[in-house]
């Protein structure tokens, strides 16, 4: 299992609106190996809000399939041109341990 986080920093007051860009059907949910997506919104610090877009994939190959797909290109068209985005970084994590509540 692979978790990919895209951390996007935006100008204060724009986080919730930016998060809504991920609410639509951008094709990721139809990709083979896609498990789920979560969008996390951090509190503002020094005029900056942070969004963490976390996608969970069955494996690295599934994620690479997404990033090389036409759906990916369409959903990211013009995303870098926003004047509210201050920066972004992408990180990948391999799931080693997962716990659920014991019943």
- Model confidence, pTM: 0.86
**79: closest CA among 61, 53, 55?**
53
Regarding predicted confidence, which is higher, 11 or 73? 11
Q: Tell how far CA 94 is from the center of its chain.
A: 16
Please write the tens of the pLDDT for every residue from 4-63. Answer: 999 999 999 999 999 998 888 768 999 999 999 999 999 999 999 999 999 999 999 999
Q: What is the DSSP string of 52-70?
A: EEEEEESSHHHHHHHHTSH
Name all domains of the chain by residue range, CATH numbers in brackets: 2-94 (3.30.70.100)
């Amino acid at each position: 299992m692979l978790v990919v986080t895209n951390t996007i920093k935006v100008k204060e007051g724009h986080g919730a609106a930016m998060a809504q860009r991920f609410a639509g059907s951008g094709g990721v949910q139809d990709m083979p190996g896609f498990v789920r997506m979560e969008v996390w919104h951090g509190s503002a610090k020094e005029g900056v809000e942070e969004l963490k877009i976390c996608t969970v994939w069955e494996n690295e190959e599934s994620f690479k399939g997404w990033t090389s797909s036409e759906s990916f290109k369409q959903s990211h068209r013009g995303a870098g041109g926003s004047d509210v985005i201050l920066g972004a970084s992408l990180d990948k994590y391999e799931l080693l341990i997962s716990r659920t509540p014991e019943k």
